Structure 1
Amino acid sequence: MSVRLYIGNLPKEEIDRQELQAVFAAEGDAVTTKLIKDRKTGKCRGFGFLTVNNDEQADQIIEKYNGQLFKETPIKLEKALPRTKGDEGEEQAAPKAANASSGNPAPNTNKEGSRRDKSSKKSRRGGGNRETTTTTSTSDSDAIRPDPRWASKLEQLKQMLAAQATN
């Protein structure tokens, strides 16, 4: 089974895939690279992917090449996260199982469900009769923490809401 590695911190300039492939040439032909480019400018977006044969080879490559200089910048290598678009294969089954074991609800990655919402003739605006489910947690460590930049404003809003509710 092939393993995808994320290659980050690439220079944001015009780079050929062959230049990036040359960095990993010592690993043989079994290693393939994919460079992610901006559609308009054709310049690198700062990252790419490396596909290797197995986990052992992936770990060896990460250990060997992580931090190596490519065009005067140290590249960052790590195992790529599973795709969320397109494929509904094994890659997405693993994160769902991991979320279930941690007690957190799994995010909805079902693309068919989102297509049904988009094709629905009902307006998304205006309230409607949508049911929403919320989960409450008694532990602060499980609670979602607000962005620190807005925490004080959020607290003020909560106090204003509480004051209105008591009136």
Structure 2
Amino acid sequence: MRTRSLELAVGVFLVAGIAALFFLAIKVSGLSTELSQPSYKIYAHFQNIGGLTVRSKVTMSGVTIGRVASIELDKKRLNAKVTLEIYNDVNEISTDSVASILTAGLLGEKYIGIVPGADDIFLKNGDEIEQTQSSLVLEDLIGKFLFNKATEDKSKDSSPAPAKEEAF
């Protein structure tokens, strides 16, 4: 009888542990808040999204105000069209606000940060943020740095040697 109660206790402990892991996974992924918040859509165009994904955070002053709903190629402008779902309680984003793709932490998670403008007219459902700043791509920066170093070293090698002054 003692072994049966011990096996039952271990089984209950195991089920509780699995339930706790499932709950933690849902909380960390952000799915629980995403489903419960009513929102409206605004759009932004970027030249390079550099690793931004669907369901990435949209923040203002460090506070999450929405999620990226979709990313697609705009065939007329030939750039990325990003659909942002902004929570309904954040309804005073001015039309001259700037949307930037930023990087969080060492792992490089991309998100959109909105810097509010000073205009008295606010974005509504279906409007577009006109001013955007694309993602900084680390590979591009390294390439530019190395190219500048290579041309700098080449120009030093091809410059004529300074003439020696002779003393009389």
Same fold (TM over 0.5): no
Higher strand share: 2
Scaled by the length of structure 1, what TM-score is found? 0.28
Scaled by the length of structure 2, what TM-score is found? 0.28
Higher CA-based Rg: 2
